[in-house]
Amino acid sequence: MAPFPAPDFASPQFKANPYPLYARLRAEAPVYRRTRAVFWHVSHVTRYDDVLRVLKDERLSKEWAGVVPWPLLRLLRPIARNMLSLDPPDHTRLRGLVNKAFTPRLVDGLRGRVQQVCDELLDTGTHDGQMDLVRSYALPIPLTIIADLLGIPSQDRARFYAWSKSLVAGFFTIEVVPALPALWRFHRYLRELFARRRADPQDDLISALVQAEEAGDMLSEQELSAMVIMLLIAGYETTVHLIASGALALLQNPEQAEGLRQNPALADSAVEELLRFTSPLDFATPRVAREDLTVGTATIPRGDIVLAILGSANRDESQFPNPETLDITREPNRHLAFGIGGHFCLGAPLARLEGQIALPTLLRRFPTLRLAAPAETLRWRRNLFLRGLEELPVYV
């Protein structure tokens, strides 16, 4: 086997089309171990069955302590105690508390609001027959909805987006260091907001979290801050990329776009296929091997960071017939875009709802929608975990 060049998995050039390398890794090095990445040795897992096993394996920990250098861990205190970086019983406790506030009934009740936001954005977002689908549509839909849910005042939402973008750019990597000032400004703002909600509760998620109680237990100030930051990032970042990358995939497969336009009842299966095909969360969040373990024929040493590549698993030919083909009627479709097991994405129902409304509405409102720039010139964001566009210019 020819040696693999050490790929920059986070680079915009790689994110533009990571799938040929993923296919090669599945075939030749399904557990690809980097000699050194930042502070740690990292094993990348690429095959569907192996990714599934990794996401469920209790020998893999989500805890940061012990793998993040303690000075950096101290600086990350405002986000350290969140559900993405904790194991049971702490994870179980926090998830139980937030589940009391973030209910399926609450999400389903947002259907009309999501439709209203989509229509308003399409009414006002075009200029001279053109539109940037990221800035004017894909981004403000989930940002508006999660900010509505949390109870963030409208005048503060632009700051929330800037803080979130800084944090996501370096989440779980050394690149988070330049974002630390934004993290601490974010944390300070939230502490002030929590105090206001304790004194004067509103009908919003932050008030519910402040008051959430299970078996006499409540969220600490640090846990509240980490929870809200996580909900904001998880509640809109991946959905931005689902809508934008989903729209791009449909524009590149016009027969699929026309099928959805003619039959909006396909919205559910179309969104599931776009989640598989575009994998907005390209890498699952990190896990740490508590002991030596075997994945496939490879041994992952104790202490390795393990990264399950969801974007590779969702294109695995052993699980999905014709995985490189977009098929909005694909059934079954057991993609792993939201993970699986105890850390299955809490915001999955909200992301699905927003995608199921945003994409058919876009196609219905603009039946002649087309790209305003060649696909190969589109700019992708630098990010290890997410795969998303910086912009998506279209003619409407």
pLDDT tens, residue by residue, 174-200? 556 677 788 788 888 888 999 999 899
68 pLDDT band (50/70/90 cuts)? low
**Most confident of the ranges 76-90, 204-218, 280-294, 365-379:** 365-379
The pLDDT of residue 176 = 63
Percent of the chain with pLDDT over 90: 56
Percent of the chain with pLDDT over 70: 87
The pLDDT of residue 232 = 74
Lowest-pLDDT range, 136-140, 230-234, 366-370? 230-234
Side-chain-side CA neighbours of 96 within 13 Å: the count stands at 12
Q: For residue 35, is pLDDT > 90?
A: no
Q: Which residue has the higher pLDDT, 75 or 229?
A: 229
88 pLDDT band (50/70/90 cuts)? confident
Q: Output the average pLDDT for the chain.
A: 87
Lowest-pLDDT range, 97-101, 115-119, 289-293? 97-101
Q: Mean pLDDT throughout 18-36? A: 90
The pLDDT of residue 215 = 53
The pLDDT of residue 3 = 62
Q: Which residue has the higher pLDDT, 265 or 170?
A: 265
Q: List, for residues 69-82, the tens digit of each pLDDT value.
A: 555 556 566 566 66
- Which residue from 372, 361, 367 is spatially nearest to 116, judged by alpha carbons? 361
The pLDDT of residue 105 = 81
Lowest-pLDDT range, 47-51, 52-56, 187-191? 187-191
Q: Mean pLDDT throughout 72-99? A: 70
Q: Which residue has the higher pLDDT, 60 or 103?
A: 60
Q: Mean pLDDT throughout 360-385? A: 96
Instruction: Give the whole-angstrom CA distance, residue 29 versus residue 17.
Output: 19
Tell me how far the alpha carbon of residue 288 is from its chain's centroid: 20
Q: Mean pLDDT throughout 209-226? A: 75
The pLDDT of residue 1 = 41
Q: List, for residues 278-327, the tens digit of each pLDDT value.
A: 999 999 988 999 999 999 989 999 989 999 999 999 999 999 999 999 99
Full set of structural domains in the chain with CATH: 28-395 (1.10.630.10)
Using a cut of 0.75, tell me whether the model's pTM lies above it: yes
Q: Mean pLDDT throughout 350-378? A: 97
